[in-house]
Structure 1
Amino acid sequence: MPATSLADWLRAAPDDALAVLLRRRRDLATPPPSDTTVLATRAGTPGSVARACEDLDTLTLAVLDALLLAGADTDAATLADVQAMVEVDITEPLERLRSRLLVWGDDDALRVPPSARDALGPFPAGLGASVPALAGVDLSGLGEDERALIGTLAAGQPIGRTRDAGIDVPLERATTPVQRLLARGLLLRRDDQTVELPRELGIQLRGGHVFTPGALQEPELPTNPHQQSTVDEVAAGEAMELLRQMENLLLSWSAAPPPVLKSGGLGVRELKKLAKDNEIDEPRATLLAELAVGSGLVADSEAASPEWVPTTLTDSWLAAAAPQRWLTIVQAWLELPRLPGLAGGRDAKDKPIAPLSDEIRRPLAPLARRRVLMALADLPEGAGVKSVDELVAVLAWRAPRRGGRLRDETVRWTMAEASALGVLALGALTTATRATLEEDRANAVAALLESMPKPVDKVLVQADLTVIAPGPLEPELAADMAAVANIESSGHATVYRVTEASVRRALDAGRTAGELQQLFTTKSATPVPQTLTYLIDDVARRHGRLRGGVAECFLRCDDEALLAEVMAHPVASDCALRMIAPTVLISTLPLAEVLEALRGAGFAPAAEGPDGRVVDIRPSGRRVPARPRPARRVAPESAGLTGVQIDQIVAHLRAGDLAVGRRRGTSMRSHGGSGAAASTSATLEFLAQAVQDRREVLIGFVDSRGTASQRVVRPSRVGGGILEGSDNQRYPLHRITSAALVED
């Protein structure tokens, strides 16, 4: 059968086949090719072929390798030749290759682009150059060292570097395995330092197979069945722990923002402190920091001494319900163009990679992350993978050319991060995560709310002044407990401790002793111990006897002896206190500083408002303006051309082919001798005459991208600076460079 060029094959292909091609290989459509010759040239470039191979599985790539072994890049190959090498059904893989234009032609004349060998490497299937004379050669006389050497070359790449490659000695004088194999003709010398194992010998060492049969089958992915409700509940616990840790980070960095390193990122000391404060390891602390910045809750202050400071979004995030907060963090993680797992490693200059630094930026990270989650989404509900390594093997088989050197590590990092975020549990996706992947925010929030433990409205007060919350507290009760007690340990049950300082903090915030006693009486499921009652009463008795206000600030007290005691203390000088009345002192320092100094000196002052009531003047933490987040990008798998756009490109191709066909197959003449040189008025007159005579015209024009092409047009109207064809296509006259009648 005569050879068919790629351009001829495309020209004869139906429109729907071209549409599939443009959908599978989007790079071919940008900019739109002027005709199928341009499309064929573009499709045959090494870069385009390499991109088209990225999402092919191991079996499909093996078929492409077999075609290269059969010489389909230089001459036509038959389906039977390829089938004999692959030894499994190749119907579907061959169709995938055809749909991507990596193979074209009939079954008895299959061809591949010549650049495929450049894109896939010089050794298809890991086999070397063919030496037909070595087919079925007897290897029984080889020594163990010689067998080991050629066995290694047969299992991997067929070439090896050795100093013995340049030594040519007869067999009887050969002293090394390489010298003996070269003398026997079982190795080929490529240069003075490189040897190559012949193809026939490699196949023989593989048991007569070009490909190991087992390697062409997708590995199994063993799973453990779980109740979906169990998966959701376990993941909800992790989600709550994540939210607690993120709250701690935001509150901690509000009070003391960590500095930004000169080279960018977060320092080792600050990372260790974050890990210690949250009782987590450093990789998880890195993930927290990355998510805080990635979700817009923290940003670089960009000051003279830059710091990582919470943004104005922090307050609204802290006030939102738990499911809403979780969804914000998870969506930021899905779109995070960074690999937190790289932090702590070494860069190309052997320097440590810091969290939040530019070294861990990877624009394709969201695609890799979603690819892992979609593989889990394909499993039945509640089915969890038994081993991450088994998932790594499956994904590597499905796309061995995607992901680069970090391909497998990215899968492991994604699974670890997803578990920490409550995106999955027990190796299975949660209901909320499935809804999130489907862009169903409402169902994601509802699913997480359903799986989270129901808030409790009671606590257990112990005699040692600890308070146990047996689950997540109702928001109002949680705020009350945070005001009057310190968190001692957290988890599914949170342990608080009430101290003198924590009670004074609650009184400073405006609560009264009676309100605190009422809080524990009504909210404790156990009897309130007397030690707690005495502690509250004792602190309250001393609290607020000395009151301050803003003058720059003032202190007032009905007990003149107490004010005299204050003035006699060294703190009076430190705070620049001055008595203006027997019961009133003033200071030039801010009230917060004065009260802090007095408390350090052993006094128990309180701040009051204009109405005399106790007020809370503690700072809420630093904030910087939130940075505008970039527009959300569609995942590369789902992004692409619309059906209408593809139809337009196909029509554009067909029109270009028509112009090429008419130019080559029909005699034409240009108006005025040269259409390119004709003036605008002459061209306009020429086109108007073509409209009147109902004649087809071959026009040359330049599109908005600056691409020159030609079209055959039957003009229907010329006016207003526009040439309108009978197919409703419109061409601006100032972009038309030439015009010629098409002769019948």
Structure 2
Amino acid sequence: MPATSLADWLRSASDDELAALLQARRDLATPPPSDSTVLATRAGTAGSTARALEALDTFTLTVLETLLVADADTEAVPVDRIEALLGTDPRPALERLRTRAVAWGADDALRVVPVTREILGPFPAGLGTSVPSLAEVDLDGLGEDERALLTALAAGPPIGRSRDAAVETTLDAAETPVQRLLARGLLLRRDGGTVELPRELGLALRGGRVAPESAWREPELPVAGHEPSTVDRAAAGEAAEFLRQLESLLTLWSEQPPPVLKAGGLGVRELRKAAKELEVDDVRACLLAELAAGAGLVADSQTTTPEWVPTTLTDSWLASEPAQRWILLAQAWLDLPRLPGLAGRRDARDKPMAPLSEDLKRPLAPAGRRRVLAALAELPPGAGVRGVDDLVAVLAWRAPRRGGRLRDEAVRWTLAEAAALGVTALGALTTASRALLGDDRTTALSSMAGAMPEPIEHVLVQADLTVVAPGPLTPELAAAIKTVADIESAGHATVYRITEATVRRALDAGRTADELHELFRTHSATPVPQSLSYLIDDVARRHGRLRGGAAASFLRCDDEVLLAEVLGNPVAAEYELRKIAPTVLVSPVPLAEVLDGLRAAGFTPAAEGPDGRVLDLRPAGRRVPARPKAVRRVLAEPPPATPEQLAHVIAHLRAGDRAASRRRGTEVRLPGGGGGSDTAATMALLARASREQREVWIGFVDAHGIASQRIVTPAHVGGGILRSTEDEHYPLHRITSAALVED
């Protein structure tokens, strides 16, 4: 069989074949190789080959391992031998390997790049060292324990640890299965504690096949069909709940920003506090925090005591329509270069990895996320996977070497996060998510807006002073209800609770009793219970009788007895209250603190503005400036090279091959490229070649400092430029040598 090197095989390849190679292995074209020898050298490096293997499926890798079992890295082997070892036709997989220049040669002389053995390990397909003398050995006389040991090693890897390997004995004196197998020569002794099963025995115990039939074809992916509208509605419900939870997190951190850990990130105590407040588990709380930061809604305050504080983008996000808020979060999740699922796991130093810390950063996370969603996008609209593990198995078969040790876990995390965010539902991709994956934000926005339930403008007020919102409320009504009631339970139907404290809070915010009565009268679909009306009137009657202003602060009241009661209370001494008039007290303490103290003591004061109206002194929540950051999208696959780019690289390659294969005459060298005493000789040589229309071999250094060789026919030499008959231009100062091509 002819021995052809990889460089020779590449040199004989067509332009289409070279284009396919450069498209499949983008790293080979940067910078453009000067000739086929350079291209072959690059294709045979460990780093480049390992990247090429990441895109191969299980069957193709099995064929590659079979080639290594047949020692195709050291000698040419025929395809018939590979087919016999494999038990099926390897040609489709061989074409994929040839396209990537991992294997090359005709069917009667197949070879693989030697570095593949280093990448795939010393035992390809889990088979050991070859011992040809064992090819026809008879295993029928072995005992059950000996056969069981060999069968276990035959499954791979072929290495076993045993103290019996240190004992050298005869077959008659052997006491254990390992000793008897070593004495028969059916195991190889690697050292005093390790034995190895020879390749021939491993193949025999596998029935003569390198791999089982399960490696030949992709596993089935069971799916369940749903109406796309059903999937969209279910996802919209999850999305609405996620938006509500994130809004609650932003409100919580506006009032009580958690500190940033010294090493960066969010502490376990703060995470659990947020989870308790939001009534979610730690995993959901971590995802909410990561997405809030990833979307730019939360940032490190970067002060002397840094805290995680909502940014100025929060207010515009909260004021947006639900579908617009979802689009921002879904896009941020797709492009998030982090793995929230790692939170809580321990790093190499056995320390737990904190949310929002650098430990969770994984630049290739967006590519892995899109790969999982792309697999779902291959299914018909509305079709969803029945089980997570089914999709994990399919993706593992498609690219077993991609994703590292977290390959399967990352798929599970992606599916769980997608379901929580409303990107998927019932195991299927939504219409909006399909559009978002295709960068069609307009369609995604309209699809999600259409799937979300229409906001309603009514509530159900119950006799037990609960208010039920049977769906999402309009932003105005939701804000009004939150002012006068606390959320008791959230979900698709939110239940609020009205108490004396919540009514007082609404009055503190500037609402009047008449406005509260009007709110429930106009927006309650049920009759307003008399108990609610009584509660509002009772609180309003007592509210604001005691009024305060800034002196730093003052208190005034027409009821002198009430002022006397305040002065007699310990709170007067705590806040240094003193009477300056029969109906006025003043304090050097800020008004908000005085009012909080009085309320804690059982009084019901109200803040008063310069015009006598009630003021809302509740803090609006902290904000820090939003820091714009460039979003670097990492795609599952880099963008393909254009035909023009490929043509340029191939032309460069072919020119180098022609230059290397042609004989050249006496060479004129220009040290450093151009200039010096050789310039005249070079000009004379080029001028002669132009007159006689002869080919010239030139050494050339491009603008990137890359040296190459060219065969050109000069059309014109002048103005410091050599112009070829192909209308290519070469600055003379970049030409390092020149010679006429010999016939």
Q: TM-score, normalized by length of structure 1?
A: 0.95
Partner of 2:19: 19
Partner of 1:115: 115
Report deviation, 1:473.
0.9
- Which secondary structure state, in structure 1, belongs to the residue aligned with residue 103 of structure 2? coil
> Number of paired residues?
742
Residues 24-103 of structure 1 mapped to structure 2, 5 A cutoff? 24-103=24-103
Partner of 2:230: 230
In terms of mean alpha carbon deviation, does 670-679 or 466-475 score higher? 670-679
Quick one: distance in 2 between partners of 1:164 and 1:676? 73
Q: Which amino acid aligns with 1:521?
A: R
Partner of 1:729: 728
Tell me if the contact between 1:670 and 1:741 (Cα under 8 Å) persists in the aligned partners.
no
Partner of 1:738: 737
Partner of 1:429: 429
Report deviation, 1:325.
1.2
Quick one: distance in 1 between partners of 2:312 and 2:739? 65
Quick one: distance in 2 between partners of 1:712 and 1:531? 98
Quick one: distance in 1 between partners of 2:26 and 2:37? 17
User: Is 1:667 matched with 2:660?
Assistant: no
Report deviation, 1:302.
2.0
Residues 288-303 of structure 1 mapped to structure 2, 5 A cutoff? 288-303=288-303
Quick one: distance in 1 between partners of 2:303 and 2:673? 63
Residues 240-389 of structure 1 mapped to structure 2, 5 A cutoff? 240-389=240-389
- Which secondary structure state, in structure 1, belongs to the residue aligned with residue 621 of structure 2? coil
Aligned-residue CA RMSD in angstroms? 2.3
Quick one: distance in 1 between partners of 2:193 and 2:614? 86
Quick one: distance in 1 between partners of 2:726 and 2:593? 81
Distance 1:49 1:277, change over 3 A: same
Partner of 1:594: 594
Report deviation, 1:599.
2.2
Residues 290-689 of structure 1 mapped to structure 2, 5 A cutoff? 290-662=290-662, 665-670=663-668, 678-679=676-677, 682=680, 685-686=683-684, 689=687
Distance 1:719 1:514, change over 3 A: farther
Quick one: distance in 2 between partners of 1:385 and 1:552? 65
Partner of 1:138: 138
- Which secondary structure state, in structure 2, belongs to the residue aligned with residue 325 of structure 1? helix
Tell me if the contact between 1:461 and 1:525 (Cα under 8 Å) persists in the aligned partners.
yes
What whole-Å deviation, never above 9, does each CA across 1:462-491 have from its counterpart, x for those lacking one? 111111111111111111111110001101
Report deviation, 1:210.
2.0
Quick one: distance in 2 between partners of 1:77 and 1:615? 89
Distance 1:388 1:423, change over 3 A: same
Tell me if the contact between 1:723 and 1:731 (Cα under 8 Å) persists in the aligned partners.
yes
Tell me if the contact between 2:371 and 2:636 (Cα under 8 Å) persists in the aligned partners.
no
Q: Which amino acid aligns with 2:204?
A: Q
Partner of 2:696: 697
Quick one: distance in 2 between partners of 1:675 and 1:742? 20
Quick one: distance in 2 between partners of 1:92 and 1:542? 86
- Percent of aligned pairs sharing the same letter: 67
Quick one: distance in 2 between partners of 1:561 and 1:675? 103
Tell me if the contact between 1:471 and 1:493 (Cα under 8 Å) persists in the aligned partners.
yes
User: Unpaired segments of 5 or more residues in structure 1?
Assistant: none
Quick one: distance in 2 between partners of 1:394 and 1:643? 32
Report deviation, 1:721.
5.0
- Which secondary structure state, in structure 1, belongs to the residue aligned with residue 326 of structure 2? helix
In terms of mean alpha carbon deviation, does 669-678 or 209-218 score higher? 669-678
Report deviation, 1:144.
1.9
Report deviation, 1:674.
11
Distance 1:732 1:552, change over 3 A: farther
Distance 1:667 1:674, change over 3 A: farther
Quick one: distance in 1 between partners of 2:46 and 2:495? 63
Quick one: distance in 2 between partners of 1:673 and 1:263? 55
Quick one: distance in 1 between partners of 2:128 and 2:600? 81
- Which secondary structure state, in structure 2, belongs to the residue aligned with residue 173 of structure 1? coil
Q: Which amino acid aligns with 2:346?
A: R
Quick one: distance in 1 between partners of 2:94 and 2:5? 18
Report deviation, 1:254.
1.1
Q: Which amino acid aligns with 2:429?
A: L
Quick one: distance in 1 between partners of 2:718 and 2:735? 14
Tell me if the contact between 2:266 and 2:355 (Cα under 8 Å) persists in the aligned partners.
yes
Distance 1:17 1:692, change over 3 A: closer
Distance 1:692 1:647, change over 3 A: closer
Quick one: distance in 2 between partners of 1:697 and 1:513? 98
- Which secondary structure state, in structure 2, belongs to the residue aligned with residue 455 of structure 1? coil
Report deviation, 1:434.
0.9
Tell me if the contact between 2:687 and 2:717 (Cα under 8 Å) persists in the aligned partners.
no
Distance 1:511 1:672, change over 3 A: closer
- Which secondary structure state, in structure 2, belongs to the residue aligned with residue 266 of structure 1? coil
Quick one: distance in 2 between partners of 1:39 and 1:392? 36
Question: After TM superposition, what 4+ stretches of structure 1 lie above 6 angstroms from structure 2?
Answer: 671-677
- Which secondary structure state, in structure 2, belongs to the residue aligned with residue 701 of structure 1? strand
Residues 2-17 of structure 1 mapped to structure 2, 5 A cutoff? 2-17=2-17
Report deviation, 1:441.
0.8
Quick one: distance in 1 between partners of 2:390 and 2:321? 37
Partner of 1:713: 712
In terms of mean alpha carbon deviation, does 563-572 or 51-60 score higher? 563-572
Quick one: distance in 2 between partners of 1:666 and 1:375? 55
In terms of mean alpha carbon deviation, does 467-476 or 634-643 score higher? 634-643
Tell me if the contact between 1:103 and 1:111 (Cα under 8 Å) persists in the aligned partners.
yes
Tell me if the contact between 2:664 and 2:697 (Cα under 8 Å) persists in the aligned partners.
no
Q: Which amino acid aligns with 1:670?
A: V
Report deviation, 1:430.
1.2
Q: Which amino acid aligns with 2:59?
A: L
What whole-Å deviation, never above 9, does each CA across 1:528-548 have from its counterpart, x for those lacking one? 111110111111112223333
Distance 1:291 1:144, change over 3 A: same
Quick one: distance in 2 between partners of 1:465 and 1:483? 15
Report deviation, 1:2.
2.5
Report deviation, 1:564.
4.5
Q: TM-score, normalized by length of structure 2?
A: 0.95
User: Unpaired segments of 5 or more residues in structure 2?
Assistant: none
Tell me if the contact between 1:676 and 1:739 (Cα under 8 Å) persists in the aligned partners.
no
In terms of mean alpha carbon deviation, does 186-195 or 267-276 score higher? 186-195
What whole-Å deviation, never above 9, does each CA across 1:143-179 have from its counterpart, x for those lacking one? 2221111111111211223232232211011111111
Partner of 1:171: 171
